[in-house]
Amino acid sequence: MDAFTTHTGRAVPLRRSNVDTDQIIPAVWLKQVSRTGFENGLFSAWREDPAFVLNDPVYEGASILVSGPDFGTGSSREHAVWALQQYGFRVVISARFGDIFRNNSTKMGLLPVVLPADVVERIQAAVEADPAAEVTVDLVERQVRLGDLVAEFEIDDYTRWRLMEGLDDIGLTLRHADDIAEYENGRQRWLPTTV
Partner 1 sequence: MGRTLAEKVWEKHVVRRAEGEPDVLYIDLHLIHEVTSPQAFDGLRLSGRTVRRPDLTIATEDHNVPTVLGPIADLVSRTQVETLRKNTAEFGIRLHPMGDAGQGVVHIIGPQFGLTQPGMTVVCGDSHTSTHGAFGALAFGIGTSEVEHVLATQTLPAYRPKTMAIEVAGELPVGVTAKDLILAIIAQIGTGGGQGYIVEYRGEAVRKLSMEGRMTVCNMSIEAGARAGMIAPDETTFEYLRGRPHAPTGTAWDEAVEYWKSLRTDDDAEFDKVVHIDASTLTPFVTWGTNPGQGAPIGSAVPSPEDFADPVQRSAAERALEYMGLAAGTPLRDVEVDTVFVGSCTNGRIEDLRAAADILRGRTVVTRTLIVPGSMQVKKAAEEEGLHEVFKAAGAEWREAGCSMCLGMNPDTLKPGERSASTSNRNFEGRQGKGGRTHLVSPQVAAATAVTGRLTAPADL
Residue 7 zone, left/alpha/beta (φ > 0; ψ -120 to 50; rest): beta
Neighbours of 53 (CB within 10 A): 19
Q: How many residues bind partner 1 (CB under 8 A)?
A: 59
Contact indicator for 112, 106 with CB cutoff of 8 Å: yes
To partner 1, the closest distance from the beta carbon of 22 in angstroms equals 4
To partner 1, the closest distance from the beta carbon of 105 in angstroms equals 9
Residues 8-27 that bind partner 1 (CB under 8 A): 16-18, 20, 22-23, 26-27
For residue 64, give the nearest of 153, 177, 146, 152 by alpha carbon. Answer: 146
Would you tell me the crossing angle of helices 79-87 and 99-108 to the nearest 10 degrees?
Answer: 50
Residues 81-100 that bind partner 1 (CB under 8 A): 81, 96, 98-100
Cβ nearer to partner 1, comparing 57 with 187: 187
Cβ nearer to partner 1, comparing 125 with 150: 125
Cβ nearer to partner 1, comparing 5 with 32: 32
* Residue 51 contacts partner 1 per CB under 8 A: no
Q: Using only C-alpha atoms, what is the Rg of the chain?
A: 19
For residue 20, give the nearest of 68, 87, 63 by alpha carbon. Answer: 68
Q: Which stretch binds partner 1 (CB under 8 A): 2-10, 53-61, 132-140, 151-159?
A: 151-159
Q: Binding residue for partner 1 (CB under 8 A) from 11, 14, 78, 115? A: 78
CA 181 – CA 170 distance, rounded (Å):
16
Q: Which stretch binds partner 1 (CB under 8 A): 5-13, 126-134, 147-155, 185-193?
A: 185-193
Neighbours of 146 (CB within 10 A): 20
Largest CA distance in the chain: 64
Contact indicator for 136, 144 with CB cutoff of 8 Å: yes
In the complex, the residues that contact partner 1 under the rule CB under 8 A are: 16-18, 20, 22-23, 26-28, 30-35, 45, 68-70, 73-79, 81, 96, 98-100, 103-104, 107-108, 117, 156-158, 169-170, 172-174, 176-177, 179-180, 183-184, 187-195
